[in-house]
Amino acid sequence: MIAELAWAGARPCFSSQRPHNGPARLMPGCQLVAQAANPRMRRMTISLTTAARERMQDFLARNESAKAVRFGVKRTGCSGYSYVVDLTDRIAEDDHWVEEAGVRLVVDAKSLALLDGTSIDFQKKGLNAEFVFDNPNMTGECGCGESFTVG
């Protein structure tokens, strides 16, 4: 799997203030892009807000056996699909993945077409806290917001 970075406009994606001997830091507004080593596999663009990335970092830190956060879809609900975010200790050969600030985000090949271009946020509203998805592939959702349709 080859990971690369893309950005809107002509500004660089890496901070010039690198931690000593550490990885370069992703600048705000940049998107993570992953491409499988196999050229027949599609490219993936999924972005994380700071809040989503920090929440995923917290989950991974609490679970030593977890290698990544798996993002996918499952068939369910009245509209067809729902999002799945879970920790995983396995990465399949045909999975696509990107990594930023210690968060490896894995998407299975079947979910990729439905999730490509999605932005993931984490929001707290009162006593509730949840991941929120802005998916450009979504063409509709059910009334309760638990499932979505892709046209």
Domains of the chain: 2-16+24-150 (2.60.300.12)
Given this model, what pLDDT does residue 41 score? Answer: 41
Q: Please tell me the distance from the alpha carbon of residue 73 to that of residue 57, in angstroms, as a whole number.
A: 21
Beta strand 43-48 with 119-125 is parallel
H runs (alpha helix) in the chain: 50-62, 109-115
> Model confidence at 54, in pLDDT bands (50, 70, 90)?
very high
When pLDDT is averaged across residues 40-52 and rounded to a whole number, the result is 76
Query: Which pTM was predicted?
Result: 0.69
Residues 6+ apart with CB under 8 A from 62: none
Which of 12-16, 76-80, 82-86, 96-100 is least confident? 12-16
148 backbone dihedrals φ, ψ, rounded to 5°: -140, 165
At 77, list the tokens.
């609900």
**Percent of the chain scored above 70 by pLDDT?**
70
What does the pLDDT read at residue 60? 95
Average pLDDT over residues 120-129: 94
pLDDT at 112 over 60: yes
Collect all residues with Cβ–Cβ distance below 8 Å to 146 and sequence separation of at least 6. 77, 82
The pLDDT of residue 7: 33
Report d(CA 142, CA 79) in Å as an integer: 6
pLDDT value for 145: 67
Q: What is the pLDDT confidence band of residue 39, given thresholds at 50, 70 and 90?
A: very low
